[in-house]
Amino acid sequence: MKKIFLLSFAFLLFTALTKAQDANTTTQTTQKEGMHRGGMHGMNSQLMKQLNLTPDQKTQLKALNESMKTKREAIKNNASLSDEQKKEAFRSLMKENMKDRDAIYTPEQKALIEKSRKERMAQWKSKKASPDSQ
């Protein structure tokens, strides 16, 4: 009887620990994905609201995102490029994309984006420096 009780208890404990680990992993994954959602280089919805984009800007950014996606896929699927050439092509594409985005935003919007970027970098550096954050 003691063995059955101990085995049942061990099974329940194992199940509880597994669920806790799954919940922790899911939370971390969601947080990481949240930084990249929306195709706006980590812009969160709060910043998007602050930018107060015009309908024309939204249309231009959507078209730019679609174009970027198509070009990224073309680079990714180009078997004639080496891994290093693909990396360089992606870098060039990102620089081109950032330049095109800059042309869409107003100076005030650019300032908000830059402020947000600096804040995110400061948070990232503080998390990276903190040994208990991992």
pLDDT at 68 over 70: yes
What was the pLDDT predicted at 4? 76
- Tens digits of residue pLDDT in 93-127: 999 999 999 999 999 999 999 999 999 999 988 88
Measured CA to CA, the distance from residue 52 to residue 40 in angstroms comes to: 14
Is residue 130 very low, low, confident or very high in pLDDT (cuts 50, 70, 90)?
confident
Structure token pair of residue 93: 């594409």
pLDDT, tens digit (0-9, with 9 covering 90-100), for 16-40: 666 665 555 555 554 444 444 444 4
Nearest to 101 by CA among 47, 39, 50, 49: 39
Rounded Cα–Cα distance for residues 36 and 95 (Å): 17
Max distance between CA atoms of the chain, in angstroms, equals 75
Confidence bin at 128 (pLDDT 50/70/90):
confident
Instruction: Answer whether 26's CB lies under 8 Å from 59's CB.
Output: no
Distance CA 113, CA 105 (A): 10
DSSP assignment, residue 53? -
Long-range contacts of range 44-47, CB-CB < 8 Å, 24 or more positions apart?
A: 47/112, 47/113, 47/116
Residue 5 scores a pLDDT above 70: no
Q: What is the pLDDT of residue 39?
A: 46
